[in-house]
């Protein structure tokens, strides 16, 4: 058959790996990744998380080891989440404001052991709340906004004081970024940044995380079983842009979108509207989906995680939170910088 007279043959740019690499539009470097770490009390203590095979809750010493290993691979940023013992939880989450709680001790120890690392702390009540909510729940079952924001502002000051580089409010209360910014500045922490979970959806994909922290909303009278009065409806996109614009105006340094892959459109639309860095969170359920399918032999795990993280970067994310950060960095060393 004679060759067709085609004016354009896109396949020419896909002919060899060298050419494909030459014209590749998106490269995600390990330095752009944030590794979430789940913390527990004790020493030499590791508890696997059933819903997230391959992830564990680690005592502070083991978390430091894990972080050192990540740093060798090129991942220098860590998001810290304390798994707080049930008996320390209360309806108002006051453990979260205690100066020597697990999270504060972890930040101090990691800051000392890894002076160059970027440490990001979560600002929300849920790890400390016996009811499993990010805010204060009123007796008639409402999650109270302004009362919660006041507590979160104190929490942010505490995290700044122990040495966090960024506080990351993940609670979705109204006005919390502005309140936290003023609270930090007023307490002498003008250099501490805010990564705002600007568009955080009420997502089914957080299930495994809530198992990791034992932080799901409890089944009790006048306690909402979901977080839909503060986290966003997955059906909405314009609302995400509105939330992001508010957080930017209130002083956020980085805007985070969550979950990741279900929100590629949100990341990409936000990319066109803000000059701030955008972060995306490949959440626990996204990790568990890939991991579980791979364990059943139904997916190539490395290919799937690399494709997912690259898609988030392609959509416009500059920074990506991922439980796969170290696996990605290992792949990057072998395949990209070989």
Active site residues: 200, 258
Give the nearest residue (CB) to ligand PBG. 209
Q: How far is the CB of 11 from ligand PBG (least distance, A)?
A: 39
Check if the beta carbon of residue 322 is closer than 8 Å to that of residue 282. Answer: yes
Q: How far is the CB of 122 from ligand PBG (least distance, A)?
A: 5
Give the nearer residue to ligand PBG in terms of CB position, either 113 or 264. 264
Question: Which stretches of 74-200 are DSSP H helices?
Answer: 102-113, 145-162, 176-186
Give the nearer residue to ligand PBG in terms of CB position, either 189 or 206. 206
Give the nearer residue to ligand PBG in terms of CB position, either 112 or 226. 226
Give the nearer residue to ligand PBG in terms of CB position, either 67 or 283. 283
Instruction: Look at residue 163 and give its three-state secondary structure.
Output: coil
Check if the beta carbon of residue 164 is closer than 8 Å to that of residue 192. Answer: yes
CA distance 189 to 187: 6
CA distance 318 to 314: 9
CA 162, 168, 169, 175 dihedral sign is: positive
CA distance 211 to 127: 11
Tokens found for residue 89: 């939880």
Coarse DSSP helix, strand, coil percentages of the chain, rounded to the nearest 5 percent: 45, 20, 40
Check if the beta carbon of residue 288 is closer than 8 Å to that of residue 52. Answer: yes
Q: How far is the CB of 193 from ligand PBG (least distance, A)?
A: 17
The closest alpha carbon to 105, from 84, 124, 86, 134, belongs to: 84
Applying CB under 6 A, the residues found at the interface with ligand PBG are: 122, 124, 126, 134, 170-171, 206, 209-210, 227, 283-284
CA distance 75 to 33: 6
CA distance 288 to 56: 13
CA distance 312 to 229: 27
Residue linked to tokens 């729940």? 137
Give the nearer residue to ligand PBG in terms of CB position, either 192 or 322. 322
Give the nearer residue to ligand PBG in terms of CB position, either 284 or 308. 284
Check if the beta carbon of residue 170 is closer than 8 Å to that of residue 143. Answer: no
Q: How far is the CB of 170 from ligand PBG (least distance, A)?
A: 4
CA 234, 237, 239, 245 dihedral sign is: positive
User: In degrees rounded to 5, what are phi and psi of residue 123?
Assistant: -110, 105
């Amino acid at each position: 058959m004679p060759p067709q007279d085609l004016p354009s043959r896109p396949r020419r740019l896909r002919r060899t790996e060298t050419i494909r690499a030459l014209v590749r539009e998106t490269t995600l470097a390990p330095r752009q990744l944030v590794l979430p770490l789940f913390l527990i009390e004790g020493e030499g203590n590791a508890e696997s998380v059933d819903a997230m095979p391959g992830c564990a809750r680690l005592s502070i010493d083991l978390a430091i080891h894990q972080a050192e290993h990540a740093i060798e691979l090129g991942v220098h940023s860590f998001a810290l989440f304390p798994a707080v013992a049930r008996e320390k939880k209360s309806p108002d989450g006051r453990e979260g404001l205690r100066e020597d709680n697990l999270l504060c001790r972890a930040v101090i120890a990691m800051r000392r052991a890894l002076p160059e690392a970027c440490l990001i702390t979560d600002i929300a009540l849920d790890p400390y709340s016996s009811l499993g909510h990010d805010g204060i729940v009123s007796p008639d079952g409402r999650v109270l906004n302004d009362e919660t924001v006041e507590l979160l502002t104190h929490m942010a000051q505490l995290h700044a004081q122990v040495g966090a580089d960024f506080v990351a409010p993940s609670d979705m209360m109204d006005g919390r970024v502005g309140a936290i910014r003023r609270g930090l500045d007023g307490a002498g922490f003008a250099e501490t940044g805010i990564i705002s979970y600007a568009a955080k959806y009420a997502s089914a994909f957080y299930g495994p995380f809530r198992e990791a922290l034992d932080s799901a909303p409890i089944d009790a009278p006048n306690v909402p079983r979901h977080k839909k009065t503060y986290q966003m409806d997955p059906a909405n996109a314009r609302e995400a842009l509105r939330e992001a614009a508010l957080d930017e105006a209130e002083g956020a340094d980085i805007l985070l979108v969550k979950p990741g892959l279900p929100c590629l459109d949100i990341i990409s639309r936000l990319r066109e509207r803000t000059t701030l860095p955008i972060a995306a969170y490949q959440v626990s359920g996204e990790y568990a989906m890939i991991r579980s399918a791979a364990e059943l032999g139904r997916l190539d795990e490395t290919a799937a995680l690399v494709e997912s993280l690259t898609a988030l970067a392609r959509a416009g994310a500059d920074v990506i939170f991922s439980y796969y950060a170290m696996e990605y960095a290992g792949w990057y060393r072998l395949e990209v910088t070989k």
